[in-house]
Structure 1
Amino acid sequence: MFQNKRAIFALFVFVSVLFSRAFAQQDFKVNSGFEEHVFVKDELFIYEDKTGKLGINDILSETGDTLFKANRDHYPRNRNKESYYWVRVNINVLKNLNGKYVFEFYDQTTEFIEAYIPNEKGNYVKRVAGAQRPFNERLLGHKNYHFNLLNLKSGEQTCYFRVKSSAYINIIIVLRSIERVLNYAISEYFMFGLFYGMLLIFCLHNMLMYIAIKRKEYLIYVVYLVFVALFEMSSDGVAFQFIWPNLPSLNPYATGISLYCMGISALVFMLHLLHVKVKAPGFYKLTIFVIAFRTIFFLICLFIKPEWFIYKFIEFIPLSLCFIIGINILVKGYKPARFFVLAYSILMAGFAVRVLMVLGIARFLPGYVTYYSLSVCFILEMVFLSFSIGDQVRILKKRKVRAQDKVIQQMKINTSLKDKVNRELEEKVADRTLLLKEQKEELLKHKAIIEAQNETLLAVNQQLEAQKEEIANMNALLEKDNEVLKINIEEVTDARIHSRDIGFNEFVVKYPDKESCYKFLSEIKWRDKEYLCKRCDNDAFYPGKSPFGRRCSKCNYDESVLSGTIFQNSRIPINKAFYILLLIHKNKGEISSYQLSKKTGIRQSTCWQYASNYKDIIAQRNAVLKKTEQSDWMAYVLVE
């Protein structure tokens, strides 16, 4: 029984020692001969200070040591961006280092690092670095952060680091010798020179190509390369070192702005290179939507939520869209898309490696592979995108050559047709010329005939002119005879009118219609153009509304030719009214209404009525007319 208890106690002691060794912080033995060491896993102890108020004295207190917990990840991570993280590193100095070693932090986006490193007296010396401090405050002129180990004495030494970053980072701490740092820096900056030099060469080459052939794809590609360079320089810290070393406030924005511009220029370049609007209209609309969405997110980050710039994974959306559209257009048979798809396949692989590195999953890969993978992929992408542009230019050149060949062939055909048409035209012109000559000869013959006929016609015309003069003389004599005859006829007619037995048919020869009667009345009423307005005694007038009427030019009184005559208000034809007055006057009123009706063709009652009126007017006028000795029937026309 006692032996069993001893065995159980021995097992308990063994397990306790084993667990204490497992959970105790491992010391790293530092000797002056080594070059570098990366602290991982349980070589680091972590404490998350959520308040951010703890100082080095609090950490060095008796209770401070219990706050730290062993690191369970390969590299410590700031899982809470609002917290400050304390990192404890234990080293066992085997020999005095004489200040030849430094601690180095990789991630250039780390905003704040405080290092507490003991000196030869055992007192902790504070050193501060970070992306929010001017570049000239750094220990070494390098993009990484360095802290000197000073003159540490031999023995176990504990160093503390206080880290704060608004982005998710891996806290990678490396202990390096100064010689290793210098060699590493020379190699690293040499690689940077190669990378950015290649970018510059690509930019110049594509700019010259744009100037030469005026293809927009080259200019957009140059813009894309510029933003790729700015993104890489911002990510590597080179931009802060060489471009804005005294403006650390730009560091939180530089990567986000350059990443946005790089993504948008990549989408625009893809739209032009692959002719997405024509070859994939649906994807074209989707691309415009992604550009709008990415722009809105960028503006929110820039003006409202700058801390959202850390979500770089959003750039995977335009990257994937370019890749998918490239595959879609390649499947449709557009050959330049093959290099485009290959370029973006490599770039996506580089982004995948970078994401794995950030997540701490790519530990199995060498550090230089994970760190420089994206830069190498950018170089390969630029090469294949240049191939894609060149392939597009070659295709366009082939199309241009084919088009030129077609044009040349068509020109040959046109020349052949032109020669054929010219020959046919020449033959037709020759035939037409011969025909015109024949027609000209015929015309000359006809001209001679016409000239002979003209001479004959001229002789005939002369005879006709002579006969014309004779006819004109005869016409003049006939006109005189006609005038004499007309006068004689009028005299005979007037004589017949004054005879008692004149018929109506003879009477209408003198007064055939209303117009001739009105003219006669006008001449009687206004002899010698004597006119006086009945209203205003004005003697000026112009034609009135009724035939031969007169309108006063002053008061506009319109006087009819019948006004003031025996025929005023007469409803029978005026020439018949003339004839009735004539018959009554010649027969001295001794004619019946029946006879008047028979001679005029008017009803007897109407004739009786008019005869009665006329007899009364004649009786009234006779007293006046006897004094003037007027006995003509026309003397009874005017009653005023």
Structure 2
Amino acid sequence: MWRVLQNCLLYVFLLCTVAPALAGGVLRLDPQAAGQRAAHQIDLLEDPSRILGLSDVQGPEYAERFLPASLVEGDINLGYSKSAYWLRLTVQAPQDHIIRNWLLELGFPALDHISAYIVDKHGWRAYQTGDMLTFDQRPYPHRHFIFPMLLDPGQITTIYLRVESQGTLTLPVMIWTEPALLVYSQSAYGLLALYYGMLLALALYNLLLFLSLRDPVYLAYVLFTVSMAIGQISLNGLGNQYLWPDWPAWGNVALPVGFALCGAFGTWFTRLFLHTRQTAPLYDRVLFGLGGIFAILAAAPLALPYQWVAVLVSLQGISFAVITTSIALFGLRAGNRSARWFLLAWSLLLAGILVMGARNLGWLPTNMLTTHAIQIGSALEMLLLSFALADRIHLAREEKEKAQSETLQAKESMVSALRQSEQLLETRVIERTRELAETNARLRISEARLTELAERDPLTGLANRRRLTEALYQALNQASDRHGEGALLLIDLDHFKPVNDRCGHEAGDRLLQEVARRLHACAGPMDTVARLGGDEFVLLLPPPQSRSTVETLADQLLVSLRQPVDTPAGRHDVSASIGIAYLPHDGHTPEELLKVADLAMYHAKDKGRDNWSRALATDTQP
């Protein structure tokens, strides 16, 4: 009994609510249709205050204010508005068909808040959805907003939709059977997959070209393509469904941010591709300014209301389309070969942007063409722009071949001139080579003489103090490495000064030369004979040496030096006093060894001259 009474009350209520709804007409559902557009049967009510509820719009005061949607053709597009809008739609299920499950689609994924109120077999159903909510809160898993309805055969019901959004209020409403929606969705998802596959292929292809050629125009196009994909994925609802289903805050702004970045990188690509900095500086500055505005708009959602940003991005998109086309035309008239393909490809995309901006502002009706204008334009643009990039590479190859041809001709002319002067140059080279060889020979002789002068005593030809010092350092190192002894013999002539004073310097020099010869005759091949100055000589015996051998050699030196020396002034008898120092026992530096040997030599003089003496223990003490 209660069930019957409940159904009676429900039908009475429906008659009360459906009667005013018939103003827009009843949409009779057709189970054979692939999908039914409901725009011509929808009544609209604007709610500027955004406070009306379902009970308010059902009441007599507002029910009569619903007006048929003002449409020429296509779907409802209210542009940008701060008002909330109520949509009222009356549908009737077919009388003689068993299908009861129907789906109402609101096919614009960028709407912020949607409330749906449907009376079906189970009574009132209320749904809350929109891109400000996570994807799992939707009543039906789809990129668009889908609302299920369970209708009995012949049932008439009124549907209320409340829509509020900061973006454009595009409201394409359709009714589907579930199988029909599934078939349509499969086709739509397949086409979108093909489209985004083309975007991905183009982005990867141009990225590889950038990595290979290091030309920034390819990087600009990659970034342009990626940012366009972000905006398109948000516009198509795939981002909210697959990429950021749990991030509605980003999903809400991804659409204007993506297209703002698309504009920023698009202006950069245009400047690089058309070389506007070199060919059209004024246009280049305009494009730079447009790109800067787009970049600011990409970050604007952080500070500005969404609606302001969306409107500005749409207006900028229209301005960008017009300006870029003008620049391409200018380049074409100026003979820029790249502008030909660029204009063909870019005009298609810009036409899509122009159509989308005009549709968002409500200047064009919403239909299949205007809704997917960017996808269509960008797909065609990608195909044509691939020709533009290929032509760009082909043009670079032609310029390279032309430059190579000119270079080859210049080389041939140079070769002809070089052949004429080849013999002359060869002769000059030979002469110059001979002169250089002679000069080098003279330099080597001079270098040898300088070295000889630097290390030899000019009177006797013996080593001088500098050469002796080097030999002493070598002997000290040998003594340290071989753990043996060397010896330094300091030889001072006795009574040389009277000979020099009485007979003259010529006789003295002759005597010194003879002494040097005798010392050299007594020395071994590895020994060093040096003259320190005046009548002082040194004989250095490198290690290893035994002290007995050293002392025997000292005796031989004394015997040799006792022999008379004939000079122009007569025969002279000389002798020598020898001081012996052992290294490294008596010193570790040349100075120490010479000092010790000098002391030992004076000991020999103190003993009566014409003998030798070793260093005493007191001589080696510091």
Bin for the TM-score computed over the shorter chain: 0.5 to 0.7
1:57 lines up with 2:59 in the alignment: no
Unaligned 5+ segments in structure 1 are: 1-19, 435-640
Q: How far is the alpha carbon of 1:373 from its aligned partner?
A: 2.9
> What is residue 388 of structure 2 aligned with on the other side?
388
SS in 1 for 2:171: coil
Paired letter, 2:44: I
Unaligned 5+ segments in structure 2 are: 1-18, 435-622
> What is residue 47 of structure 1 aligned with on the other side?
45
User: Is this contact kept in 1: 2:80–2:307, CA < 8 A?
Assistant: no
> What is residue 100 of structure 1 aligned with on the other side?
101
Of all paired residues, the percent bearing the same amino acid is 23
User: Is this contact kept in 1: 2:349–2:374, CA < 8 A?
Assistant: yes
Q: How far is the alpha carbon of 1:78 from its aligned partner?
A: 4.1
More strand by share: 2
Residues in 1 aligned to 2:20 and 2:294: alpha-carbon distance in whole angstroms: 51
Query: For residues 29-64 of structure 1, what are the alpha-carbon distances to aligned partners after superposition, in whole Å with 9 as ceiling and x for unaligned?
Result: 2244444211123x1112222333322233334445
> What is residue 351 of structure 2 aligned with on the other side?
349
Query: For residues 455-479 of structure 1, what are the alpha-carbon distances to aligned partners after superposition, in whole Å with 9 as ceiling and x for unaligned?
Result: xxxxxxxxxxxxxxxxxxxxxxxxx
Q: How far is the alpha carbon of 1:430 from its aligned partner?
A: 8.8
**Distance change in 2, residues 1:288/1:24 (3 Å):** closer
Match of 1:325 among 302, 327, 330: 327
Residues in 2 aligned to 1:147 and 1:132: alpha-carbon distance in whole angstroms: 17
Q: How far is the alpha carbon of 1:105 from its aligned partner?
A: 0.4
> What is residue 144 of structure 2 aligned with on the other side?
144
SS in 2 for 1:336: helix
User: Is this contact kept in 1: 2:93–2:152, CA < 8 A?
Assistant: yes
Higher mean alpha-carbon deviation, 231-240 vs 403-412, is at 403-412
Higher mean alpha-carbon deviation, 417-426 vs 124-133, is at 417-426
SS in 2 for 1:211: helix
Q: How far is the alpha carbon of 1:72 from its aligned partner?
A: 2.6
Query: For residues 493-515 of structure 1, what are the alpha-carbon distances to aligned partners after superposition, in whole Å with 9 as ceiling and x for unaligned?
Result: xxxxxxxxxxxxxxxxxxxxxxx
Paired letter, 2:374: L
Q: Point out the structure with max Rg over C-alpha.
A: 1
SS in 1 for 2:118: strand
Residues in 2 aligned to 1:116 and 1:221: alpha-carbon distance in whole angstroms: 46
Paired letter, 1:150: L
SS in 2 for 1:345: helix
Question: What is the correspondence of 1:571-586 to structure 2 with a 5 Å cutoff?
Answer: none
> What is residue 109 of structure 1 aligned with on the other side?
110
> What is residue 420 of structure 2 aligned with on the other side?
420
Residues in 2 aligned to 1:24 and 1:298: alpha-carbon distance in whole angstroms: 44
Q: How far is the alpha carbon of 1:393 from its aligned partner?
A: 2.1
Match of 1:69 among 67, 90, 110: 67
**Distance change in 2, residues 1:407/1:120 (3 Å):** same
User: Is this contact kept in 1: 2:332–2:340, CA < 8 A?
Assistant: yes
For the aligned residues, what is the CA RMSD?
A: 3.0
SS in 1 for 2:337: coil
Question: What is the correspondence of 1:359-508 to structure 2 with a 5 Å cutoff?
Answer: 367-426=367-426
Residues in 1 aligned to 2:36 and 2:363: alpha-carbon distance in whole angstroms: 20
Residues in 1 aligned to 2:112 and 2:162: alpha-carbon distance in whole angstroms: 11
User: Is this contact kept in 2: 1:263–1:319, CA < 8 A?
Assistant: no
**Distance change in 2, residues 1:270/1:376 (3 Å):** same
Q: How far is the alpha carbon of 1:433 from its aligned partner?
A: 12
Q: How far is the alpha carbon of 1:278 from its aligned partner?
A: 0.9
User: Is this contact kept in 1: 2:86–2:162, CA < 8 A?
Assistant: yes
Residues in 1 aligned to 2:247 and 2:381: alpha-carbon distance in whole angstroms: 32
Residues in 2 aligned to 1:357 and 1:302: alpha-carbon distance in whole angstroms: 25
Q: How far is the alpha carbon of 1:340 from its aligned partner?
A: 0.9
User: Is this contact kept in 2: 1:46–1:76, CA < 8 A?
Assistant: no
User: Is this contact kept in 2: 1:220–1:269, CA < 8 A?
Assistant: yes
> What is residue 118 of structure 1 aligned with on the other side?
119
Q: How far is the alpha carbon of 1:239 from its aligned partner?
A: 1.4
1:36 lines up with 2:51 in the alignment: no
Residues in 1 aligned to 2:433 and 2:128: alpha-carbon distance in whole angstroms: 108
SS in 2 for 1:28: strand
Residues in 2 aligned to 1:244 and 1:156: alpha-carbon distance in whole angstroms: 38
Q: How far is the alpha carbon of 1:410 from its aligned partner?
A: 2.6
Q: How far is the alpha carbon of 1:407 from its aligned partner?
A: 2.4
Residues in 2 aligned to 1:403 and 1:346: alpha-carbon distance in whole angstroms: 35
Q: How far is the alpha carbon of 1:301 from its aligned partner?
A: 4.3
**Distance change in 2, residues 1:97/1:171 (3 Å):** farther
Residues in 2 aligned to 1:142 and 1:233: alpha-carbon distance in whole angstroms: 14
**Distance change in 2, residues 1:402/1:25 (3 Å):** closer
SS in 1 for 2:140: coil
TM-score (norm 2): 0.61
**Distance change in 2, residues 1:227/1:427 (3 Å):** same
SS in 2 for 1:24: helix
Residues in 1 aligned to 2:433 and 2:28: alpha-carbon distance in whole angstroms: 118
User: Is this contact kept in 1: 2:88–2:159, CA < 8 A?
Assistant: yes
Residues in 1 aligned to 2:137 and 2:208: alpha-carbon distance in whole angstroms: 41
**Distance change in 2, residues 1:413/1:173 (3 Å):** same
SS in 2 for 1:114: strand
**Distance change in 2, residues 1:397/1:357 (3 Å):** same
Query: For residues 382-441 of structure 1, what are the alpha-carbon distances to aligned partners after superposition, in whole Å with 9 as ceiling and x for unaligned?
Result: 22223223222222221211222222333333333333222123467899999xxxxxxx
SS in 2 for 1:322: helix
Paired letter, 2:384: F
Q: How far is the alpha carbon of 1:328 from its aligned partner?
A: 0.9
SS in 1 for 2:308: helix
User: Is this contact kept in 2: 1:23–1:70, CA < 8 A?
Assistant: no
User: Is this contact kept in 2: 1:329–1:337, CA < 8 A?
Assistant: yes
Residues in 1 aligned to 2:142 and 2:289: alpha-carbon distance in whole angstroms: 41
Q: How far is the alpha carbon of 1:84 from its aligned partner?
A: 2.0
Residues in 1 aligned to 2:294 and 2:31: alpha-carbon distance in whole angstroms: 52
User: Is this contact kept in 2: 1:32–1:97, CA < 8 A?
Assistant: no
**Distance change in 2, residues 1:73/1:396 (3 Å):** same
**Distance change in 2, residues 1:36/1:361 (3 Å):** farther
Residues in 1 aligned to 2:243 and 2:272: alpha-carbon distance in whole angstroms: 32
Higher mean alpha-carbon deviation, 301-310 vs 377-386, is at 301-310
SS in 2 for 1:139: coil
Query: For residues 513-551 of structure 1, what are the alpha-carbon distances to aligned partners after superposition, in whole Å with 9 as ceiling and x for unaligned?
Result: xxxxxxxxxxxxxxxxxxxxxxxxxxxxxxxxxxxxxxx
Paired letter, 1:46: L
Q: How far is the alpha carbon of 1:23 from its aligned partner?
A: 8.6
Q: How far is the alpha carbon of 1:381 from its aligned partner?
A: 1.4
> What is residue 24 of structure 2 aligned with on the other side?
25
Q: How far is the alpha carbon of 1:98 from its aligned partner?
A: 4.8
**Distance change in 2, residues 1:298/1:230 (3 Å):** closer
Query: For residues 348-404 of structure 1, what are the alpha-carbon distances to aligned partners after superposition, in whole Å with 9 as ceiling and x for unaligned?
Result: 3223443454466765xx944333332121022122223223222222221211222
> What is residue 8 of structure 1 aligned with on the other side?
none
Residues in 2 aligned to 1:246 and 1:270: alpha-carbon distance in whole angstroms: 36
**Distance change in 2, residues 1:25/1:275 (3 Å):** closer
> What is residue 184 of structure 1 aligned with on the other side?
184
Question: What is the correspondence of 1:277-288 to structure 2 with a 5 Å cutoff?
Answer: 277-288=277-288
User: Is this contact kept in 1: 2:267–2:287, CA < 8 A?
Assistant: yes
**Distance change in 2, residues 1:413/1:39 (3 Å):** same
User: Is this contact kept in 2: 1:108–1:131, CA < 8 A?
Assistant: yes
**Distance change in 2, residues 1:164/1:69 (3 Å):** same
SS in 2 for 1:117: strand
User: Is this contact kept in 1: 2:79–2:361, CA < 8 A?
Assistant: no
**Distance change in 2, residues 1:322/1:60 (3 Å):** closer
SS in 1 for 2:111: coil
User: Is this contact kept in 1: 2:93–2:153, CA < 8 A?
Assistant: yes
Residues in 1 aligned to 2:211 and 2:270: alpha-carbon distance in whole angstroms: 20
State the aligned residue count: 412
User: Is this contact kept in 2: 1:301–1:307, CA < 8 A?
Assistant: no
**Distance change in 2, residues 1:188/1:278 (3 Å):** same
Q: Which has the higher contact order (CA 8 A, sep 6+)?
A: 2
Q: How far is the alpha carbon of 1:247 from its aligned partner?
A: 0.7
Residues in 2 aligned to 1:59 and 1:91: alpha-carbon distance in whole angstroms: 18
